[in-house]
Amino acid sequence: MNNHKRIFYLDFIRVIAIFLVIFIHVSAIDTTLHVGSTQWQITKIINYFAHISVPLFFMISGSLLLNIKKTKSISYTWKQRIPRVVIPFILWSIISPIVVGIYAHSLSAHNVAASVKMMLYQPTSPTLWFMYPLIGIYILSPIIRTFVESANREMLWYVTLIWLVTNSLLPSLANVMPKNWVDALTIYPVAQFYLVGGFTGYFILGYLLTKIDIHELSNIWLWIVALVAGFAGNYVSEVFPKIFDAFNGYYVTSIFIPIMSVAAFILLQKWGERINSTGVIRTFEFLSPLVFGIYLIHNLLILYMEPWFMSVLPFGGLAATFIRYIAVAAASTLIIWIISLIPGLNYLLTGSRKK
Question: Tell me: the pLDDT tens digits for 141-195?
Answer: 999 999 999 999 999 999 999 999 988 998 888 888 887 777 788 777 777 676 6
- Residue, of 73 and 5, whose pLDDT is higher: 73
The answer on pLDDT for 247 being more than 60 is: no
- Model pLDDT, residue 192: 67
d(CA 324, CA 318): 10
**Could you tell me which residues come within 8 angstroms of residue 258 by beta carbon, excluding any fewer than 6 positions away?**
55, 164, 168, 201, 202, 205, 252
- Model pLDDT, residue 219: 96
Give the mean model confidence (pLDDT) for residues 307-322.
91
- Residue, of 317 and 285, whose pLDDT is higher: 285
Note the Cα 65 to chain centre separation in Å.
16
Q: Which runs of E-coded beta strand occur in the chain?
A: none
Instruction: Decide: 38 and 114 in contact? Cβ < 8 Å.
Output: no
Query: For 258-278, how does the pLDDT look when each residue is reduced to its tens digit (9 = 90+)?
Result: 999 999 999 999 999 999 999
**Could you tell me which residues come within 8 angstroms of residue 313 by beta carbon, excluding any fewer than 6 positions away?**
320, 323
Closest among 281, 270, 158 to 208, alpha carbons compared: 158
d(CA 259, CA 52): 9
